[in-house]
Structure 1
Amino acid sequence: MTLCQTLPCSPAVALSVVCVLLGTVLGHPQCLDFMPPFEPAEPLVFCREYGDFGCCTRRQDYELQRQFDDIMRRMPYHLQTSCHHHVMNILCQECSPYASHLYDLETTQVKKPLPGMCPQYCPTVFDSCKDIIPFITGDPTVQHAITLSNYTQFCEVTSITDMDYCYPNLLANEQLSGDIQEAVQGTGGEGCLCFQEIANGLKNPTVLVHAGDGTHRLFIGEQLGKVYVYLPDGSRVDTPFLDLTRTVLTTSRRGDERGFLGMAFHPNFKENKRLFVYYSVGTSKKQKIRISEFRVASHDINQVDQDSEKIILELDEPAANHNGGQLLFGVDGFMYAFIGDGGKGGDPFGEKGNALNMTTLLGKIIRIDVNHPDDSVPYGVPWDNPFVGQRNIKPEIYAYGTRNMWRCSVDRGDPETGDGRGRIFCGDVGQAKWEEIDIIEKGGNYGWRAFEGFECFDEKLCETEELANHIPPIHVYSHSVGKSVTGGFMYRGCLYPNLNGQYIYGDFWNGKLFSLTEDKEQGVWNNRQICAGSTDICNNELQGSYVPDILSFGEDEAGELYMLSTDYASTSHTGGIVYRIVDPARRGDPEQCSRNITPVTVLGTTTPFVHSSEMSHSCHLSPSLAVLFVAVLSMFVTAPVTPWSGFLVPRRKGHLQDLS
């Protein structure tokens, strides 16, 4: 083992070096496209050995069978009995769940002309099929060995770096077979995930949404008020989709919570071109939250008509924090807005705070009808809102008693059964002790400021009749685990079936990722921390690290999940990165998960995606990663190793979801 000659600069590279220094583990199932294996949606006919779990779709299986049939037609009759099984075995290794290892692709990045064959098997193949192998591959090194009639050279040419994966011995390898079972069942690698960078250079990205119009574009919004369009090929349209930087109220102070906070496209956007945004306006002494409607420009689908703004709602904010910010449309077609309690600490406004005061919209979830405006306001109130017609209660209120819900999402429902469809999950940032995850119910009282998590926060309020039936969270965690929850999404995509039914969320303060799964029989939700995969699992386009300040999560049109984070939460810093969340153990059938993309006409210029590791060489690591690297480095040098200036970056208290 040798120490790298140069020090890593990006967190991803640093983690790679650390993992190399600590040693590698046995490889994992991986296909020739570097993606995980899958269960074919249609049964395989030719390579049946890999019909339950492997790397071939039915179409690929058919192509291999065509290749086999072509070889058989050209094969002399006297060789067919002794050779045809070997030809089939060789061809079908492309379908093996370990295809990447069998062809030495993961190690060398170059696919071998033939799969790696074990020492006792390779000579047999050579003796039986040396005249047929040229029909399988035209590789000159293989051809040369055959011309020389030298099986030793042939077996050397076709050998692979790690012969633990050679065929057919890998079929009897208990460790590899166990890895397959774990991948199928979703238990492999302790459920570690990988991350694929898809956008970078962003200033506090707070929003990632899709338009639901079949174009599969991603709309990524920065806290400053700029929204950019990212096309399915990964490129970004250079001109912002929306630019509210002159109107949005925020500062470059680390942790300023004000700014561009939410965005939602109308469910019928494809026809009506309407979208809605949630942002801060005003001055430092008199600030408001604003919800506005915009329309897309008639001449350019990738541009908002900046003059089309129609203000839907404005609400005075008594302080600079706890602004809420989520906008979404429920399965009922109504728009939901999640508004913070007004800020400061402990909701100190009035006898019981804003969140429990039904005469204000602060600390509430509101539900409005943007399709049928009222005579007095530019929206309607659904007739079945829970408090319609009650005195001294705002009719827009759908639920109340919330502190500062930061990121909420709608469950699409199980892809097969539809179970869970329409549930709204939220992360509510805590005060002094607890962070919580809630499922929103019509008319629900979520307890703040009487309760924080499951605990009483204000003893004068906890025992009141109003709080007797408040709705507790489905999960809480203490501030010894994390201090600022970032709500996420229930995974319902196609690409990673093992993630189905997992609510994935994180903590801004320390960058931890978590997964919640429901145990219906016990009536509880089970939480686990998600680990990042090691470099032998997360490689090529995937990585096992990310910049740690988790700002938000997003979902694309196909239901795949994204994480938005930065290494320094300031609107003046361009360290914001967006990652697609990837399960490296198992994926859905690529043919079943293929997308029909509606083409988009782009009028302006675009910029292709370039990974951040290719753009910057400035060292900027998270503290935990830096400490780990220094500790490992010290094992290989005799002189004491101490953190140096610019390498360790101390955490500060300021962050997007204020802890006050």
Structure 2
Amino acid sequence: MKRRRFLKAVLAGSTTGLAGCGRPPGRDGRSNTTDASETATTGGTLPNAVGLQTLASGMQTPLDVAFAPDADRRYVAEQTGLIHLHGANGLREKPFLDLRDTVEAGGEKGLLGIALHPNFAENRRLFVRYSAPRRSGAPANFSHTFVLSEFVATEDGGRAKRDSERVVLEISEPQSNHNAGDITFGADGYLYVAVGDGGGGGDQGTGHVSDWYGAVGGGNGQDVTENLLGSILRIDVDTRANGKGYGIPDDNPLVGTDGLDEHYAWGFRNPWRFSFDRGEFFVSDVGQSSYEEVNLVQRGGNYGWNVKEGTHCYEADNCPDGTPGSVRGGEPLVSPIIEYPHSGGSVSGISVIGGYVYRGSALRAMEGAYIFGDLQAGGRLFAATRPDGGGQWPTRVVTVAGDGGRKIEQLFSFGRDAAGELYVLGSGADGDGGLHRIVPAG
């Protein structure tokens, strides 16, 4: 039964619910230049458990966190449309930015991502990704509008100027789900934007490109000419060209072809959270019926949806080797580095939550491990390590000991600060959402 709806567990107990974003290199000042000598495996035996230090609580579905480069300050985005400022004295009462009058929240819609400009300390520019009502001119049967906007903060970085909004990009969304929402600056200074396939089941139906591959009958994930859905975009927010609110990097893979220039990589269903680490680009993608996956993404890569779900064919008769010839002349489909099922085994779940490679000092044994999780956390995280000979990354469960017995029952997102320490956004059994730092188990 094709019924995969990201966050169904959250929706069962709340009218809102989603996940969030942190601070990969490009936001934390680390280099994105690939260096094989620096992509290290773990510094020792992975711990069986880690602890949580709760920094802020009392929030409703916190989805994203960005770290100020010039102060002890974190900006935490709630799905409802609020961005909070958390500093040395805790969570400030007045919000940093209130977009509740603009954001359409509920289900998988809402305020989904925040990114600080690489020169935020000097120019105070920040970018947010949110859902808004359907715009005039969009098809009447479409759901809502994807909005990417720029704001400017006050000189002290303590408040975003509400009237400074500049809309950078809008996309009409056919269904209410599969909205992705992560935005992150790479070390190249360009903004990377995750866009889901438009919603619904199997990448088919209203608003989905049809007949690209007859056995499947539709697929925005495999289309690069009709719309921007089902892809990772890469844009230049420091320039504007051709009547758009952004420019196009000259080396984007489809520049000069019949594809849309914004595309960086494609073949995604619902890429929920991504991160950079020393030249590598980790993108998790929520599955449809059976499997969740994490990909190492490269420029121009095709990551398979809706021909494949993970490493497995998805309702396609002619892809036993993953390279159906009718996909733009035999374009290869890249397999994930991590895959886990919806049931069976200790590493399983319902919706992958992408994380970060650990580069901190508090948990030396986790150095170089990719730490991620699943919406249905149940007091656990996942840790994947690079295999010596390539191929799938071995993955294991790391138990979360909690803060005073508190455990994360529903996991929404991760963050990483400039020191390489990791943070978790999630809620406990009581539904109270918070921001937590991962620390050694007590």
TM-score relative to the length of structure 1: 0.54
Supply the AA of the counterpart residue of 1:268. N
Q: Distance in 2 between matches of 1:185 and 1:285?
A: 49
More strand by share: 2
Match of 1:473 among 336, 339, 354: 336
Residue 505 of structure 1: how far off its partner (Å): 0.6
Partner amino acid for 1:395? D
Q: Do 1:195 and 1:544's aligned partners in 2 also have CA atoms closer than 8 Å? A: no
Aligned pair partner of 2:412 in 551, 572, 575: 551
Candidates 124, 127, 138, aligned match of 1:273: 124
Deviation at 1:510, TM superposition (A): 4.2
User: What amino acid is aligned across from residue 493 of structure 1 in structure 2?
Assistant: G
Q: In 2, are the aligned partners of 1:437 and 1:475 still within 8 Å (CA)?
A: yes
Matched, 1:410 2:276: yes
Q: CA contact under 8 A between 2:377 and 2:408: conserved in structure 1?
A: no
Q: Is the 8 A contact 1:198 1:234 kept in 2?
A: no
Large movers: runs of 4+ above 6 Å:
none
| Match of residue 264 from structure 1 | 115
Q: Cα–Cα, structure 1 residues 290 and 461, in superposed 2: closer, same or farther, change >3 Å?
A: farther
Distance 1:196 1:372, change over 3 A: same
Which runs of no fewer than 5 residues in structure 1 stay unpaired? 1-183, 412-420, 586-660
Q: Is the 8 A contact 1:489 1:555 kept in 2?
A: yes
Q: Rg larger in 1 or in 2?
A: 1
Equivalent residue letter for 1:187: T
Equivalent positions of 1:175-186 (< 5 A) are 186=44
What is the aligned partner in structure 2 of residue 343 from structure 1? Answer: 199
Q: How far 1:357 moved relative to its partner?
A: 1.0
Residue type at the aligned position of 1:489? Y
Which of 257, 267, 277 is residue 401 of structure 1 equivalent to? Answer: 267
Task: Name the residue aligned to 2:373.
Answer: 506
| Deviation of 1:524 (Å) | 4.2
Specify the alignment match of 2:145 in structure 1.
288
Question: In the alignment, residue 200 of structure 1 is paired with which amino acid?
Answer: S
**How do 1:354-365 residues align onto structure 2 when only pairs under 5 Å count?**
354-359=220-225, 360-365=227-232
| Cα drift, residue 545 of structure 1 | 4.1
Contact 1:532 / 1:545 at 8 angstroms: preserved in 2? no
Q: How does 1:510-525 map to 2 (within 5 A)?
A: 510-511=377-378, 512-525=380-393
Shift of 1:441: 0.6
CA RMSD for the aligned pairs? 2.1
**Cα pair 1:499 1:583 within 8 Å, conserved:** no
Aligned counterparts of 2:124 and 2:272: Cα–Cα separation in 1: 27
Contact 1:208 1:218 in 2 (8 A): yes
SS of the residue 1:248 aligns to? coil
SS of residue in 2 equivalent to 1:198: strand
1:242 aligns with 2:97: yes
| Letter in structure 2 aligned against 1:479 | H
Matches within 5 A, 1:85-484: 186-187=44-45, 190-212=47-69, 214-231=70-87, 233-251=88-106, 256-283=107-134, 286-298=143-155, 300-348=156-204, 349=208, 350-351=210-211, 352-359=218-225, 360-391=227-258, 393-411=259-277, 421-460=278-317, 462=319, 463-466=324-327, 469-480=332-343, 481-484=348-351
Note the C-alpha offset of 1:378. Answer: 1.3
| Higher-helix-fraction structure | 1
Separation in structure 2 between the aligned mates of residue 499 and residue 237 of structure 1, nearest angstrom = 32
Q: Quick one: higher RCO (CA 8 Å, sep 6+), 1 or 2?
A: 2
For 2:266 and 2:408, locate their aligned partners in 1 and report how far apart those are by CA, in whole Å: 34
Q: Deviations over 1:156-194 (max 9, x none)?
A: xxxxxxxxxxxxxxxxxxxxxxxxxxxx97438x53111
Does the C-alpha gap of structure 1 residues 268 and 432 become closer, same or farther in structure 2, counting only changes over 3 Å? same
Alignment partners' CA distance in 2, 1:400 and 1:552? 22
- 1:113 maps to which residue? none
Q: Are the structure 2 counterparts of residues 424 and 446 from structure 1 closer, same or farther at C-alpha, using a change threshold of 3 Å?
A: same
- SS of equivalent to 1:194: strand
Which residue of the partner structure matches residue 361 of structure 2?
Answer: 494
Q: CA deviation at 1:332?
A: 1.0
1:511-547 superposed Cα distances (whole Å, 9 cap, x missing partner)? 34100110234554111111234xxxx7xxx445413
TM-score using structure 2 length: 0.80
- CA drift at 1:216: 2.9
For residue 235 of structure 1, report the CA deviation from its aligned partner.
1.3
Deviations 1:461-503 (A, max 9, x none): 6333426511100010000021111111111123322211011
Deviation per CA, 1:4-55, whole angstroms, max 9, x where unpaired?
Answer: xxxxxxxxxxxxxxxxxxxxxxxxxxxxxxxxxxxxxxxxxxxxxxxxxxxx
* Residue 436 (structure 1) shift: 0.2
What letter is aligned with 2:310? G
State the Cα distance separating 1:578 from its structure 2 match.
Answer: 1.7
Matches within 5 A, 1:13-52: none
CA offset digits 1:69-94 (Å, max 9, x no partner): xxxxxxxxxxxxxxxxxxxxxxxxxx
The residue identity in structure 2 corresponding to 1:471 is V
> Aligned partners of 1:316 and 1:237: how far apart in 2?
35
Equivalent residue for 1:485, pick from 352, 355, 366? 352
Judging changes above 3 Å, is the alpha-carbon distance between structure 1 residues 458 and 238 closer, same or farther for their aligned structure 2 residues? same
Query: Which residue is equivalent to 2:10?
Result: none
Alignment match, 1:78: none
